[in-house]
Structure 1
Amino acid sequence: MSFRTTPSVDYVEDVSPGSGALPPRAWYASSDARSLSLNGSWRFRLSATAGAEDDSFAEEGYDAGNWAEVTVPGHWVLQGDGAFGSPIYTNHLYPFPVDPPYVPTENPTGDHLRVFDLPSDWPSDGGAVLRFDGVESCARVWLNGTELGEFKGSRLAHEFAVGELLKPGSNVLAVRVHQWSAGSYLEDQDQWWLPGIFRDVTLLHRPAGSVADFFVHASYDHTTGEGTLRVDSGVDGRVLVPALDIDVATGEPVTVAVEPWTAETPKLYDGVLATDGERVPLRIGFRTVVLEDGLVKVNGTAVLFKGVNRHEWHPERGRALDLETMREDVLLMKRHNLNAVRTSHYPPHPAFLDLCDEYGLWVIDECDLETHGFTEQDWRDNPVDDDRWTPALLDRAARMVERDKNHPSIVFWSLGNEAGTGRGLTAMAEWIHGRDPERLVHYEGDWNCRDTDVYSRMYAFHDEVEKIGQQLDGGTHKRRELPFIQCEYAHAMGNGPGGLADYQELFEKYDRLQGGFIWEWIDHGVKHAELGYAYGGDFGEELHDGNFVCDGLVFPDRTPSPGLIEYKKVIEPVHIEGDGANGIVRITNKQDFADLSALAFEWSCQVDGETVESGSLSVPALVAGESAEVKLPEPPVDGRGGERQWTVRALLANDTSWAAKGHVVAWGQFAVGARPLPSFPATDRPVVEEGRITLGPAWFDARTGALLSIGGVEVGATPRLDVWRAPTDNDDGAEWQTDTRYGMLWRTLGLHRMRHRLVSVEAGDDALTVRTRVAPAAREVGLDTVYRWTSDGERLRLSVSVTPEGDWTVPLPRLGVRFGLPEADRVEWFGGGPGEAYPDSRTASMVGRWQSTVDRLQTPYVRPQENGARADVRWVELGGLRIEGDPEFWFTARRWTTEQLDAAQHRTDLAAGDTVWVNLDHGLHGVGSQSCGPGPLPQYFLKAEPVEFSFVFSTTR
């Protein structure tokens, strides 16, 4: 009898960072040393446990012909049509028992095999290294049957010396990847758990005398306009920067006049580090980062961060991003006025940092560290406070800093995210401060700021942020002397975030508040044939956090959400406000460094939303922080006499690397005069005959008072009071905010199932009056509602009067009327647009004449919810009707009911019906960002109180 020996897998649960890998160094591409990408198709075998298969697959000559194939970079659970397992999404719960450092025996393990030919002209001198830029979560590596080592640290680079193992011709690279390892306890970020080799695998030739490592020190003195350059290197060489006439030895400082690097003016100087073995291209940005006067200053100026948290994500490839996808992210950020990125919650692909250097974005580079799941046990056994794990923590810090240290865009090193506090974090901070004193250290969890250079918080409510700005927040003396940033705020989940403009007003009011970073950049929806985009729970996960993974400013396909459009407007670098009556516009440069010479300004004058004249506006090249008043031209003469307004835009004057000439950077609108309200005398009287009531162009049901048609346009469902909306993610709120989760409170009260009781139908001399009471079952609260219809023979006015009864302890979701039209497609309106808006997310709503279709009015949130409202609508035309409002109103139209929208879990659950449902709302409740942050501020509450509003209907046929 024979027994199969189970291979040793002790390394999987070892708390050490691994063995065999070379010390970390700067990431760069050599000008002349050879490299060979090993990306592409690899043979793949999946096992259910770490020790299910022996190591024979790593030996030369092993026949893997019957294995499957996967693409590297890639995650195996996103390949193979489900044959290789499924993704798992959790926010902070570990998807395995918390028993550090142990992981389950059921540990999906992927054996990867790549046979490659060494090019015939591959240099025979020097050495070679094999580099892995990212593998989740633990990997063991062999080359030509020789074990190189094993490593953990999924989002970090690891290299192995392989020069002596390479052979002419065919070579065999074998990699065993385990989904779970001790390292998984350090990688509990809010994201999908996705095993695999998801970043590049590269073979690099290392010539004799090559650059082992180097550190570019490029400071800037804003008082003299000079930069000092020193490049430290492990080997002797020379540093050449032709544009600055620099030719010095490594380690030797040189000071010259330079243009500084900032996110607004990302000036890079091309240089070369030349040694006997190779030439390495340098992209040098001169800037100095200091903590001074209680502020983060770059080049002597305090910076206001207008940032976003960015996970790496692609809806089909997960965290395996290509260069063009990364570039698309950066271009979208620049085009929407963002100036900063926090690399939540791990170092990104290094090419992304190259793009931040090139296009200009401040960066908080964050370590691959999060132990959030330990909060479930009050942080007991937290690795960051256990000395056994400190070598792994220091290894992760070093691999981040050493890889990324030459990027001028990085102003902060972040220790990680949501890992509690402990000695290991202190050790990381001390090491980073010692290795790179030219940057600052960030960590949100350190509220006492023992180890950090900035007081950082996430989701602090507006009132607390104001107290912090006033230095009335308490805490340690050291903390009160430090600048404040919100490293996460305004949770961009579903419809929202609301309250952005209110936050920005605080950031700009108090010097101590140096801005923040929206959570987050992209919805992590997984492309799915049946569901459109899948989220947590759609793959049968044992534990999951639903669509909490879809909380981005862009949708999974990178289409900007209304939240990104709003953020662009809120943080625009030029503020434009005006006095329309006197023809004056005030321009303020809100940038930190650049003047306005890169911008051109134009004005236009609108009458009833249509531009009647436009032209250029001469604005001086204001320096940062400066304002000026500019006289507008005389308003054009127009005989129509409608509502008049000015619109002033700031545009790119020339093409840039990130947008074309004419790209709109900022805009402002201001009225010239008041809007004329729709009115007419009630000249017609209702006529009752044969069960119907005729009033002007309209027919009504004589028994119920229901509107049946207007001027031949059939009304499928009569206008009646509506207070319900399909709750947004922010309405539903976070589970720890039980007293203000209005989605839940609305359901408890029964606002989703209101009943309408007809009190009377009264055909008077000049009006048809329908009295009702609208109330939820099982409750004594209600809304007395009176509909009063009048006509001048051609038009029909509906006046609605609402009087609350009982003790209304919660705000209303909406207040208006809903009705149905059997046919409607094209929509035109005069009001806010072109996209959706809500009371606390309407800054980007521009008043004008807009056109759409009913389908394009919808906002495609990954989880369907209330969406698509247009603000400040004067009139709307659809389905043969024109509807004017007094006062302005909110307008929504969709091919499904609110109830159907409420029930849907994915976009594919929504099917167009035969009726277009139209909401004309007098008011809407704000949206806030309570899915993780604050709810709407009180001024955006829709209170139940007496109100009157009206609409005028006419036909367009």
Structure 2
Amino acid sequence: MHEAPSGPLPYYEDPGPGTGALPPRAWTAVSDARRVDLGGAWRFRLSPTADGADDAFARPGFDASGWDVLPVPSHWPLHGLGGGAGERDGGVPGARGGTPDYGRPAYTNIRYPFPIDPPRVPTENPTGDHLRGFDLPGDWPGGAAVLRFDGVDSCARVWLNGEELGTFKGSRLPVEFEVGELLRPRGNVLAVRVHQWSSGSYLEDQDMWWLPGVFRDVTLIERPEGAVADYFVHCAYDHLTGNGSLRVECDPPGAVTVPELGLDIATGETAVVPVEPWSAEAPRLYDAELATEGERVPLRIGFRTVRVEDGVLQVNGRRVLFRGVNRHEFDPDHGRVLDLETMRRDLLLMKQHNVNAVRTSHYPPHPAFLDLCDELGVWVVDECDLETHGFAEVGWRGNPVDDERWTPALLDRAARMVERDKNHPSVVMWSLGNECGTGRGLSAMADWIRRRDPARPIHYEGDPSCSDVDVYSRMYADHAECEAIGRRAEPPLPDADADRRRRAMPFLLCEYAHAMGNGPGGLTEYQRIFEAHPRCQGGFVWEWIDHGLRRRTPDGRAYFAYGGDFGEELHDGNFVCDGLLFPDRTPSPGLVEYKKVVQPVAFTADLARGLLTVTNRHDVADLSALAFRWVYEVEGEPAGQGRLHVPALAPGASARVRLPDAPRAAAGAEACWTVRAVLAEDTAWAPSGHEVAWQQFEVPRQAAPAGPPPGARHRPRRAGDGLLRLGPGRFGAADGVLRSLDGEPLAHGPRLDVWRAPTDNDRGTRWHPDGRLEHLWREAGFDRMRHRVDGVSLGDDALTVTTRVAPAASDLGLLAVYRWTAVGDVLGLDVEVVPQGPWTLPLPRLGIRLGLSPALDAVEWYGGGPGEAYPDTRRASRLGRYRSTVDALQTPYVRPQENGARADVRWAELRRADGSGLRVAGAPPFWLTARPWSTEHLAAAEHTYALDPGDVLWLHLDHALQGIGSHACGPEVLPEFRLDAVPSAFSLTFTPLRAGEGAGAADTPERP
């Protein structure tokens, strides 16, 4: 790309993979060979450049007592943040005392945080020297041994007892060195120099925090004479005969026993026996043992066959539908350092939320994670440690995947992934990497993988021709395009042969439904396409978890930091927080919605005939593991419940089940059926009773009358002091705004509201500037609407207020007419809205906003719940009666934004501790949002700590809301969820609640 330097490049800039390492091999968690975990407290020194200190520290006898102490595994920038990330580890400060300065995390999505001049890197290259002394166990037998590093970012040079072992790159891949002849019984010293930047950094531009360090395990492993050098377990399943075939390649030769199958065979020999196959839904594993002269290795074998047939990806002869997520490895305190418990927790949460697949974006995970995927049952697309996305910023000039100098490093990365993970039944596809453009190096990787493991398909998204792969993969294709691809009617490629080949492939969305902030919207519509077209085999939501780093303000308030919070000169803000889990692994509303959308049991009902149709949408499992229950509710209160007898339907099968007779209900009362599928017994991932799927069916009824109840209406009259009186209400005589209700003053009277705190999806992306709704809304003035009173008139039984709501510098407007009436203690409001002018943009919201006393902090409502919902994210909202506090109604998105709406609310009550308060009802049902801060405050906040409750409770009673979409990195809001400015009408009633009239609310949004 640029003129090459004179002389040889230093090892950290050489584009090759490194020196001195042993050939890659299969990973196994345990064997009877001895192991020494070298994690723990290491001595640590940080230099600002690669040559900032000499290598004398690697020599025997070096005195590092003055160095700091750092835990390994770790990322060193997270241990120099006083009062912030990593503060719980106890490894900081070190010998010097105080808080050391180890640099700072930095986040970029695409752009390299250094000049693009491959393979060169900046002189400013933070370099961490690590020292670890250790003794061998007393029973260590001597002889051959390997030193294994499972992950070091981004380049390392290693010495043992003063002898250099070699260098390596490939941060999220293992490397081993032979060290047996160098070991001593006591006083061994391991020295590791780690550079943050290297030629390998150009291959690791993976939309995450740049975090150097020894962040995975370091292990010393005995290799006795005749130990297993490598092994490859070949397990296939014939779905026509029910037989499994087993063959284990091993160096050196040995024997394989599978007691449950009665097998005792030599390695290299093939056995064919009847077996139960492995799948994500039924992860059947057989315990086995591989024995050579020098080592015994326990195996867990799963029989399954993956192939593409008739344009469809099949496992064990059945089409599979990926209900997947992309998963980065992340912890808010430790970065990419994860323990086994956290990995298991991730998988349990996935299984409990109906997620059945993981794409390991964008690198192989910790190897123990795949063991857990085998055990619990998850389809895995194993992705190589490769992304060169930053070259897109310069037109892909110099892209390493199309530069033969880098091909050895690419092949090395492919081999280290495949050899490490080849024995996992959960791995059903290899992925070459992510967002690397196209090039000869990718083809070389694909050719090597296909020769080494022809039994698994190959994935890569970045080449539209699909020349190297077996599946057609896209990211963020919109619904219309996916529909066309499902019909194999996508626009043709210029090359007819390539077009025929791609059109015959199965289709995956390797990334879709970008889960940044509030959202993603449109999940239901994607799932309908997947279920309608066999070619469309699902996808992987981007992504699993927000990468917010835990920090605290000077006064101790916790929050999660994102790009720019550490002073980065180049960053991409909160784009690093785009997951279905919050950083502390609390499920977001998006994950709850995804669980509902992808639920593997579907229900439809013919209530007139009392019939329920149940459909099994599993790929493999029947319904024998599930129990079915029903509840009949009237006005949100249970009136009857019981069990349903559903046959053990095969995958894809349906059955009609008769519902019981509906319990009696009062005439005109609203009733609904809720049917649920729950686990009949405990499983490895959830207890019995865990809900897998559900559906509600509202019983048709006569529509409820709008407005106040029948009776004698109050007559509006002047009350003096510039006020008007109507029933329990007092209004401003000049502006017609409600000032108080039953003597309780309102902080802000009700008026039309169209603005919301923009969501991440409203903000859009810098690469789609025309669709950035926040910018367009602000430019149009939706955040600064003015209210003009055109008239206040008193009729015989109504107070009518006519207003025009409009922004400055525009002729657009909304004519809003408020008609107030009152019967007894009930104050009614009918609102009519008529747009004026050439509206082209959707409205953020359309409804009424008012300000109340913050003492009204207990909420009960009858409507959708328990969590938030918006027009295109409401599948998980179910009709019921719920209780909450105002605080618990808030969703703590890492970057604050519109949140917390409850859908389909018939009525809501807000109460003080003494039971006094306000009841609001609506016709049609409304969207309820209650906040201890204003929309303006919410929109201005960059972090949750900036949201201080004020002296007003802001209540939003919305007739309609704009949908959410996923335009932070995906499609805009679908047309059916767009809130266009059209004539609208809605009604509300306000009833004061007096002390002692009913109980307050519970602390969390649960059914009572």
Q: TM-score, normalised by structure 1?
A: 0.98
Residue 293 (structure 2) aligns with? 276
SS in 2 for 1:849: strand
Q: Which residue of 2 aligns with 1:73?
A: 73
2:745 and 2:47 map into 1 onto residues whose CA distance is 63
Paired amino acid for 1:39: G
Q: Which amino acid aligns with 1:716?
A: A
Map of 1:554 onto structure 2: 581
For 1:84, what is the secondary structure of its paired residue? coil
Q: 2:108 aligns with which of 80, 84, 90?
A: 90
Matched, 1:370 2:387: yes
- SS at 1:81 equivalent: coil
Residue matched to 2:138 = 120
Match for residue 724 of structure 1?
755
Q: Distance in 1 between matches of 2:923 and 2:770?
A: 35
- Among 848, 853, 856, the residue aligned to 1:824: 856
What residue is the counterpart of 1:734 in the other structure? 765
**2:951 equivalent in structure 1:** 914
- On the 8 A contact 2:785/2:808 being kept in 1, the answer is yes
Which of the numbers 757, 760, 767 marks the counterpart of 2:791? Answer: 760
Secondary structure, in 3 states, of the residue corresponding to 1:465? helix
Q: Which residue of 1 aligns with 2:91?
A: none
2:81 alignment partner, SS class: helix
Q: Is the 8 A contact 1:337 1:665 kept in 2?
A: yes
Using the TM superposition, give the Cα deviation of residue 737 of structure 1 relative to its aligned residue in structure 2, in angstroms: 2.0
C-alpha distance in 1 between matches for 2:183 and 2:20: 17
**Pairwise CA distance, 1:636:** 0.9
Once residues 676 and 782 of structure 1 are traced to their aligned partners in structure 2, the CA distance between those partners, rounded to angstroms, is 32
Greater displacement, 415-424 / 871-880: 871-880
The letter of the residue matching 2:704 is: P
How far off its partner does 1:956 sit?
A: 2.3
Q: Write out aligned runs for 1:295-334 (5 A).
A: 295-334=312-351
Kept after mapping to 1: 8 A contact 2:110/2:207: yes
* 2:729 match: 698
Whole-Å Cα distance in 1 between the matches of residues 918 and 81 of structure 2? 49
Asked whether the equivalents of residues 580 and 646 of structure 1 are also in contact (C-alpha less than 8 Å), the reply is: no
Mapping of 1:173-322 within 5 angstroms?
173-322=190-339
1:508 corresponds to which residue?
Answer: 531
Q: Say which of 714, 729, 735 aligns to 1:684.
A: 714
**Equivalent residue for 2:978?**
941
User: In structure 1, what is the Cα distance between the partners aligned to 2:106 and 2:822?
Assistant: 60
Distance 1:407 1:714 in 2: 66
1:671 is the counterpart of 2:708: no
Quote the residue 1:746 is aligned against: 777
Equivalent-residue separation in structure 1 for 2:183 and 2:884 (angstroms): 62
| Residue identity in the other structure for 1:790 | T
Separation in structure 2 between the aligned mates of residue 505 and residue 710 of structure 1, nearest angstrom: 48
CA–CA separation in structure 2 for the residues paired with 1:793 and 1:669: 36
Corresponding position of 1:517 = 540
Whether the aligned pair in 2 keeps the contact of 1:839 and 1:926 (CA below 8 Å) is yes
Query: Aligned partners of 2:513 and 2:29: how far apart in 1?
Result: 38
| Structure 1 residue 818: Cα displacement | 0.1
More displaced stretch, 820-829 vs 338-347:
820-829
Indicate the residue corresponding to 1:480 in structure 2: 503
- What is the distance in 2 between the residues matched to 1:612 and 1:905? 46
CA–CA separation in structure 2 for the residues paired with 1:128 and 1:678: 81
Where does 1:487-636 land on structure 2 (aligned, <5 Å)?
Answer: 487-530=510-553, 532-636=559-663
Paired AA for residue 141 in structure 2: P
Residue identity in the other structure for 1:731: D
Deviation at 1:584, TM superposition (A): 1.6
Q: Distance in 1 between matches of 2:570 and 2:412?
A: 30
Contact 1:581 1:673 (8 Å CA) reproduced: no
For residues 135-154 of structure 1, the aligned pairs below 5 Å read: 135-154=152-171
Secondary structure of the 2:135 match is strand
Select which of 430, 434, 438 maps to 1:413: 430
Say if 1:30 and 1:278, in contact at 8 Å, map to a contact too: no
Conserved? CA contact 2:629–2:675, under 8 Å: yes
**Secondary structure of 2:832's partner?**
strand
Aligned residue for 1:747, secondary structure, equals: helix
* Alpha-carbon shift at residue 607 of structure 1 (Å): 0.4
Q: Give the Å deviation of 1:75.
A: 0.1
Tell me the SS of whatever aligns to 1:355. helix
- Kept in 1, the 8 Å contact 2:29–2:368? The answer is no
Superimposed CA distance per residue, residues 686-741 of structure 1 (whole angstroms, 9 cap, x where no aligned partner):
12121222211212122221112222333211000000000000011112222222
Distance 1:425 1:678, change over 3 A: same
| 1:30 to partner: Cα distance | 3.4
Residue equivalent to 1:4:
none
Does the 8 Å CA contact 1:128/1:204 hold for their aligned counterparts?
yes
Q: Secondary structure at the match of 1:169?
A: coil
Q: Could you say which residue in structure 2 is the equivalent of 1:12? A: 12
1:833 aligns with 2:865: yes
2:293 maps to amino acid: D
How far is 1:640 from its partner? Answer: 6.9
Taking the aligned partners of 1:704 and 1:693, their CA distance within structure 2 comes to 10
For the 8 Å contact 1:678–1:884, the answer to whether it is kept is no
Instruction: Give yes or no for contact 2:706–2:987 (8 Å, CA) kept in 1.
Output: no
Note the C-alpha offset of 1:8: 9.9
Shift of 1:673: 2.1
Where structure 2 has 5 or more consecutive residues not aligned to the other structure, the ranges are: 1-6, 83-100, 494-498, 912-916, 995-1008
Paired residue type of 2:543: E
2:815 to 784, 797, 813: 784
* Candidates 185, 188, 196, aligned match of 1:171: 188
763-772 vs 309-318, which moves further: 763-772
Contact 1:29 1:280 in 2 (8 A): no
Q: Deviations over 1:735-785 (max 9, x none)?
A: 222222211110000100100111111111110111111000111100011
Per the TM alignment, residue 641 of structure 1 is displaced from its structure 2 partner at its CA by: 4.8
Q: Give the whole-Å Cα distance in 2 for the aligned partners of 1:886 and 1:735.
A: 40
SS in 2 for 1:118: coil
Which residue among 441, 462, 467 is the counterpart of 1:424? 441
Provide the rounded CA distance (Å) in 1 between the counterparts of 2:77 and 2:9.
Answer: 22
Q: Does 1:110 align with 2:141?
A: no
1:671 Cα deviation (Å)?
Answer: 1.1
**SS of alignment partner, residue 933 of structure 1:** coil
Report the Cα distance in structure 1 between the residues aligned to 2:122 and 2:772, rounded to whole angstroms. Answer: 37
**Distance across 1 between alignment mates of 2:698 and 2:445:** 56
The code of the aligned residue for 1:97 comes to P
Q: What SS does structure 1 have at the residue aligned with 2:12?
A: helix
Q: Distance in 1 between matches of 2:578 and 2:449?
A: 31
What's the counterpart of residue 3 of structure 1? Answer: none
Instruction: State the alpha-carbon separation in 2 of the partners of residues 285 and 685 from structure 1.
Output: 78
Give the letter aligned to residue 928 of structure 1. G
What amino acid does structure 2 have at the position aligned with 1:66? Answer: G
Distance 1:712 1:501 in 2: 47
Do residues 383 (structure 1) and 400 (structure 2) align?
Answer: yes
1:799 aligns with 2:808: no
1:42 aligns with 2:65: no
Q: Which residue of 2 aligns with 1:881?
A: 918
Contact 1:581/1:672 (<8 A) preserved:
no
Structure 1 residue identity aligned to 2:457: L
Provide structure 1 residue ranges, at least 5 long, that are not aligned to the other structure: 1-6
Kindly provide the CA deviation profile for residues 175-206 of structure 1, in whole angstroms up to 9, marking residues without a partner as x. Answer: 00000000000001100000000000000011
C-alpha displacement of 1:908: 0.4
* Residues 499 and 936 in structure 1, CA contact (< 8 A), matched pair in contact too: yes
Matched-pair contact (CA < 8 Å) for 1:13–1:101? yes
Distance apart, 1:31 and its partner CA: 2.9
Residue equivalent to 1:54: 54
Find the partner of 2:683 among 645, 656, 671. Answer: 656
One-letter code of the match for 1:925? Q
Matched AA of 1:15: P
